[in-house]
């Protein structure tokens, strides 16, 4: 399971990877993996633009389907 630190690392990685703008990562400081996985599309849209929300939700969906998600978490920790 992702910790709050993992969520922050993923957000910073995704912002850089996808050149996302205007995401206030401090809104996710109390968000761990369980809370993140429970967030709806509307929850994401309340925190950021629909474009950014869609990109992040698509990437989360990809990670959920991937059996290598744990390896990706380790990758995020490096950067």
63 — pLDDT class (breaks 50, 70, 90): confident
CATH class (in words) of the domain with range 4-73: mainly alpha
DSSP string across 30-50: T--HHHHHH--HHHHHHHS-H
pLDDT at 74 > cutoff 70: no
Average pLDDT, rounded, for the chain: 89
Predicted local confidence at residue 76, as pLDDT: 56
Q: Where are the domains of the chain?
A: 4-73
pTM of the model: 0.80
Predicted local confidence at residue 71, as pLDDT: 54
User: Are residues 44 and 56 in contact, defined by beta-carbon separation less than 8 angstroms?
Assistant: yes
pLDDT at 41 > cutoff 50: yes
């Amino acid at each position: 399971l992702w910790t709050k630190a993992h969520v922050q690392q993923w957000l910073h990685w995704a912002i850089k990877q996808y050149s996302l703008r205007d995401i206030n990562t401090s809104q996710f400081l109390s968000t761990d993996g369980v809370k993140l996985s429970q967030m709806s599309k509307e929850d994401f849209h309340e925190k950021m633009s629909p474009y950014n929300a869609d990109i992040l939700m698509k990437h989360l969906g990809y990670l959920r389907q991937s059996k290598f998600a744990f390896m990706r978490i380790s990758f995020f920790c490096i950067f």
